[in-house]
Structure 1
Amino acid sequence: MVDARERFVASGSLRIWTERVGDPGLPAVLMVMGSGAQSVFCPDALVGRLVERGVQVIRFDHRDTGRSSVVDFDAHPYTIGDMARDCLAVLDGYGLGSAHVAGASLGGMIAQWLGVHAPGRVRSLTVISSSPMGHDPRAVWARAQAGEPADPDDLPPPSPAYVAHLAARLPPGVETDVALLRVFNGPVLPFDEPAARSTLELALSRAIDPAAAAHHGRAVWRDDPGLKAPLSSITAPTSIVHGDQDPFYPVGHARALAAAIPGAVLHVVPGMGHSLSSPGLPEQIADLIRL
């Protein structure tokens, strides 16, 4: 990796850890990771391929992950919109008026929020392995966990393999997280277990408070009127990138997103699940990020 620089930026009273890779004079790509996911879950191979495409890349630790500030969620609860404002603070911290924004899973919903509410800051939008930000999945999940048939009028439920993983109630720890990433990888592409374990161990070693990442799961359920804004108002050139083996958000979520955002281009990646844990996949996804 070339020309990588770390720094903290302020988002209100919070300190957000960030890293910039590449030439600061080039257009920027802001990578926004998913729920509970530190910057290290954005693979170096993906960042390197983007730099080869002629951009700088900024990745960061969400609040409550990695080296960024830990929040007392009971005293200061926050929403997806607040996490999106952290992204704007990162851009401000680097003096960037706008950036290409690419978000994965929950990061994809944060990216949608930015596309709707901060259109001037978003040069292009890439939503990876995500779902429409205003969709409430609780009914879908309740039916899946109860073993009931899916509602044909709603978005598709998570896969039986993922539901079974939840039902197993494995103890917290790296091995359980490896098992989860194996499920996320899906059954088609090879799963790089040593690399996945190494990333999880790195994340554990650099977290101020590993348990704080669970706050993201609480933030998702907090009422945020900004999530109800129509996706049809997004004006940034948009690509939807999604695996046809995604066990968490089956591909119907991507099709709904592509239908809701004017001019969005849908890329369905054969064999891809809900993670980037297969050799060669990070580079493939980097080539699909809209620039």
Structure 2
Amino acid sequence: MADRTRRVAVGELELAYETFGDAGNSPLLLISGLATQMLGWDERFCDQLADHGFHVIRFDNRDIGLSTHLHEGGIPNLGALLRGEAAPAPPYTLADMAEDTAGLLDALGLESAHIVGASMGGMIAQQLALHHGHRVRSLTSIMSTPSRQVGQARPEAQAVLFLPPPTDPDTAAERSLTVYRVIGSPGYPLDEPRVAEVARRAFARGNNPAGVARQYAAIVVSPDRTPGLRELTVPTLVIHGEDDPLVQVEGGLATADAVPGARLVVVPGMGHNLPQPLWPQVIDEIVAHARAAEVGPAAHA
């Protein structure tokens, strides 16, 4: 598989990204979730979005994959943060990660883009829309929430987040399979060979357990976005699995309820992943939403 990865300076960071489709088409930026490199957006999924006439961009967030790892940030005390106890502040928040995303648009010479975020990526996408609404042509928030207090994980799903980190490609594959057997979509078969392959590739690209902990800490300390979302004027689509055990469906319901005019799609049998049989539905929803935004009033604001 040819490596199409490029790197660009964003502030003091370097972000790794890849593109799909014609650069002259409408840009559509995909934001990944916690502990998930850009590989989480399957290349075939990206190609199919590009085939609908979009210039698709996926990238590694800070502290993961081939983007800058902030080793100087140390390892946060997640237990204390989760319990609300006094603890050193994490080195960054979701607002900082949203600024990274805006900076990536700048570096790519894009005034705005359609923004699609999954899980933590949805939180970052929401934050980007709140702080840089003019950069967001449309917002699609998938399996996400406006607050970590809403749609909290079931105990078994929370537990797999804290499994021991992998030490080699094989343990990375086994860990990922264990995670997705718990949080994946109960209504659809898990593509275990693909999950294992992506985990091995991700381990080879950059294994950084401390960075994942810092990303998680950023979620924990970031404030509830609901008040801001109530004032949002960006065209918004919310997609959520009815059977998501990691960010339960209440997270999607709360997001859609907060944003004026948001459209909510709840998918039966879907958990906290995007199984291939659901791609046609999810892609059609994203494409229809983006196209509607381009011809609607928001496109000319």
Give the deviation of 1:246 after TM superposition. 0.4
Give the deviation of 1:281 after TM superposition. 2.6
The alignment status of 1:230 with 2:228, answered yes or no, reads: yes
- 1:136-285 aligned at under 5 Å gives the runs 136-137=148-149, 155-163=150-158, 165=160, 170-173=163-166, 174=172, 175-207=174-206, 209-223=208-222, 227=225, 229-276=227-274, 278-285=275-282
The alignment status of 1:108 with 2:106, answered yes or no, reads: no
TM-score, normalization: structure 1?
A: 0.85
1:55-83 CA distance string (max 9 Å, x none): 01011001111111111214981110110
**Residue from 86, 98, 111 that aligns with 2:112:** 98
Q: Percent identity?
A: 40
The root-mean-square deviation of aligned C-alpha atoms, in Å, is: 2.3
Q: Which of the pair is proportionally richer in helix? A: 2
1:167-197 CA distance string (max 9 Å, x none): xx64332212211111111322111111101
CA contact (8 A) 2:93 2:222 kept: yes
Moved over 4 A (4+): 163-166, 226-229
1:213-236 CA distance string (max 9 Å, x none): 221012222356x94652012111
> Aligned with 1:172: secondary structure?
coil
1:12-57 CA distance string (max 9 Å, x none): 1110011111111110000001012110001112211111111010
1:112-141 CA distance string (max 9 Å, x none): 111111010000000000001xx242xxxx
Amino acid paired to 1:92: D
> Aligned with 2:269: secondary structure?
coil
Q: Return 5+ residue gaps in structure 1 as ranges.
A: 138-154
CA contact (8 A) 2:74 2:210 kept: no
The alignment status of 1:61 with 2:75, answered yes or no, reads: no
TM-score, normalization: structure 2?
A: 0.82
Q: Return 5+ residue gaps in structure 2 as ranges.
A: 76-89, 167-171, 291-301
Amino acid paired to 2:282: I
